[in-house]
Structure 1
Amino acid sequence: MARLLVLGGSRQAAAGLERLKALGLELVVCDMDPDAPGFAYAAHRVLASVYHAEECIPAVRAFHAHTPIDGVMCLACDVPHVVARIADELGLPGIPVESADLTVNKLAMKDRFQSLGVAIPPYRAIADVKELAGTLAEWGAVVVKPTDSRGSKGVSLMRAGGDVNWAFSNAQENSPSGKVMAEKYLSGPQVSTESIVVGGEAVTPAMSDRSYEFLDRFAPFIVENGGDMPSELDDAVKHDIAALVSKGATALGISQGIIKGDIVVHAGKPYIIELAARLSGGYFCTHQIPLSTGVDLVAGAARTALGETLQPADWNAKFERHVSTRWLIPESGRITGFSRPEAVLSSPGVLAFEHWAEIGARVGGAMNAAASVAMVQATGNTREEAVRNAETALDAFALTVEGD
């Protein structure tokens, strides 16, 4: 039985860990929370913060000394650089450390893409507020972000007249290095992709049209409230997206593994916003992709991490099913009530539902990807029906919030 180390045992990782255990793997789960839900599927626990390499790697090294592991991956956490270092130190399959480091430094990633002709929005490092103000005046609308944060923390969309002092501070305060960058805002549909790279070839079975229907309401923050599969983009554009992701993976030096992409299609042409060398969070890899396509990229990531030789053709979508994900993002205040999950699960078309709302808990409004308190996925005969079923299900949750 292969022994697989998985970094991350959070709520969002639990379903993936359950699937990996069902495949017969002996799971070693690393998480700093002794009550992490993912530990329910673990044969072994390593208590350490996966976001702090100086804590995680020595703990893994000590475990490996008495119980050797055969592979390492992460699930629902953005730590490919830690995974790569563990793999490198223990002689396990994995992507190069340099490649992993590029995927967690947005500025370095963009520099690499630009040098190799990979299509990306115009961007630049921002040293101070004056430089940000000049960039905004030049480009008209910019996305301001930390160079090295995650989960959309510190990210904002600035248009003419926006508060650049606040935007710069917000990004800088959420950057571990204190560094800020700006990208020209390109209008157009955005797509989440998930690919598996096999022998240098990226296969992309999953493209989800991201929902930003509340972009004005949440401004200046950029917070999506869900996504829809299959993508409604033209086949030619989807082909171009898949080719672009593959080119991006090659530029990063990744020949085996998982690539998660954030793509914008502007004037009919795709551009990479970011690529990540890991599985997605947000129940995308664990729920929406297999429900919509029949492809289990969690299993693919595990098999790659264990050094198995995969075949590209095995990872194409097996079918197309309309699946819509919607996140419940409440206004600021304190949660005063909600219905039992059974009321949601019995709603038409619902495939999956989870919530993490607690009575009395304070919710702070939509600032980043952590703003939601529930997730539903629903299907239908058409996209419109799937979206309607997802929205109806969230209404059935009947969350109430008392304002501050």
Structure 2
Amino acid sequence: MTLGYDNPPVVARLAAELGCPGVPVEVADLCTLKDRRIAALDRAGLAVPRFAVATTVDAALAGLERVGLPAVVKPSDCTGSLGVAKLDARERAREPVERALALSPTGRVVVEEYLSGTEHTVAGFAVDGLLHVTGFADREYGEKERFFPHFFEGGDTLPTVLDAAQRADVVRTVQGGVDALGLTTAVVNTDILRTPDGRVYLLEITCRLTGARIATEVMPLATGVDPLPNAVRLALGRPLVAEELRPTRDRAVVQRYLPADGGTVHSVGDLDALARTPGVHDVFWGLDLAPGTVLPAYRGGDEVLAGTITSGPDVAAAEALAARVLSRLPLRLTGPSGAPTTPYEPTH
């Protein structure tokens, strides 16, 4: 089984070699390589952004003419938003396309239409081709373009703002993706975008557990559904226990991040006191920090300075608690002037 990291092709090949249960190799490849996946979803008639696949900068720029602006460029085979950038003008597109191509092990990029709307994560299992949802979260993109041309995802929120009919529409789209990719028996993780007019786009669907502690901690805190026991059963070729897929609670839970964006660590303290705050499940550093550590400029989702997982009587209360925690981090930085600065302001 695979958790978070996009290594289903490796896991599938090991399973096939060793005669273990597992997702077929061709399906694992289809779910992981962005160029193959979006083409398969498009052939199945699912709503996907307009797209072009390229192996050279010039081909990507030609594809951009067909896709239109604004657009997004993505390495076909990288994870964690690595190399993903927004393209807002053709004359500024060459550099981010070159970087995306350089980061791709296979030298392939996807140029996609940029869409606006709310984004959501649906997690679950496909068993005999039928999707069983274990979690439905909203992705926090309030400051999505703060580090243009890179995207910043501020975390995840449960419960979703979508109503029952809207959720059902999203789940139907995910089921269509399960069918299109041949996910007969597999863990399922998705990235969904819903436009203001209600159209649902399947941006990503993979055969792995949702990473960043979402499927394994954030969703279970909110719903009581822990997918790990059933993920292990699936990996062993055993039947799922249906009772463990049913929510036992409906709690407001959020995960929020602060990005690393340059500077040098002046001083860093212990997080234990903040972690003991009522309603705080965890507070954590995203990087190894010590006096003198030079922080990178933000260029993608992996460059997280710190984060917290909090709960409350409603989403607003959980968000407010997360903001307070992140504003009180025991951290001081020095900038270009050399003077110590207060901790980062929370992105909220």
Please say whether Structure 1 and Structure 2 have the same fold, judged by a TM-score greater than 0.5: yes
Structure 1 match to 2:343: none
Tell me if 1:250 matches 2:179: yes
Structure 2 match to 1:358: 289
- Could you tell me how far 1:234 is from its partner in structure 2? 2.2
- Could you tell me how far 1:250 is from its partner in structure 2? 1.8
Structure 2 match to 1:369: 301
Tell me if 1:217 matches 2:146: yes
CA separation of 1:147/1:217 partners in 2, compared to 1, >3 Å: closer, same or farther? same
Counterpart of 2:307, as a letter, is M
Structure 1 match to 2:251: 321
Structure 2 match to 1:52: none
Q: Deviations over 1:243-267 (max 9, x none)?
A: 1112211211111121110111112
RMSD of the TM alignment (CA)? 1.8
- Paired residues of 1:99 and 1:253 also in contact (CA < 8 A): yes
CA distance in 2, matches of 1:94, 1:192: 23
Tell me if 1:92 matches 2:9: no
**1:270-349 equivalence runs, <5 A:** 270-312=200-242, 314-349=244-279
Counterpart of 1:142, as a letter, is A
SS at match of 1:186: coil
Q: Deviations over 1:147-203 (max 9, x none)?
A: 111111010011136611111111101100111111101100111221111221111
TM-score of the pair, normalised by structure 1: 0.78
Structure 2's unaligned 5+ residue stretches are 337-348
- Could you tell me how far 1:135 is from its partner in structure 2? 4.6
Tell me if 1:170 matches 2:99: yes
Structure 1 match to 2:125: 196
Q: Deviations over 1:345-379 (max 9, x none)?
A: 13342112222441132221321121103221001
Structure 1 match to 2:40: 112
Q: Deviations over 1:119-163 (max 9, x none)?
A: 211111134444444554552210101111111101001113661
CA distance in 2, matches of 1:86, 1:134: 39
- Paired residues of 2:15 and 2:22 also in contact (CA < 8 A): yes
Identify which range, 304-313 or 151-160, moves more after superposition. Answer: 304-313
- Paired residues of 1:347 and 1:389 also in contact (CA < 8 A): no
Counterpart of 2:89, as a letter, is A
Quick one: which of 64, 78, 85 aligns to 2:6? 78
SS at match of 1:370: coil
CA distance in 1, matches of 2:222, 2:56: 44
More helix by share: 1
Quick one: which of 161, 166, 184 aligns to 2:113? 184
CA distance in 2, matches of 1:216, 1:118: 27
Tell me if 1:126 matches 2:54: yes
Structure 1 match to 2:192: 263
- Could you tell me how far 1:336 is from its partner in structure 2? 2.1
- Paired residues of 1:96 and 1:253 also in contact (CA < 8 A): no
- Paired residues of 2:56 and 2:101 also in contact (CA < 8 A): no
CA distance in 2, matches of 1:81, 1:127: 21
Aligned residues: 332
CA distance in 1, matches of 2:180, 2:260: 40
TM-score of the pair, normalised by structure 2: 0.90
- Paired residues of 1:288 and 1:325 also in contact (CA < 8 A): yes
Counterpart of 1:403, as a letter, is G
- Could you tell me how far 1:331 is from its partner in structure 2? 2.2
- Could you tell me how far 1:304 is from its partner in structure 2? 0.5
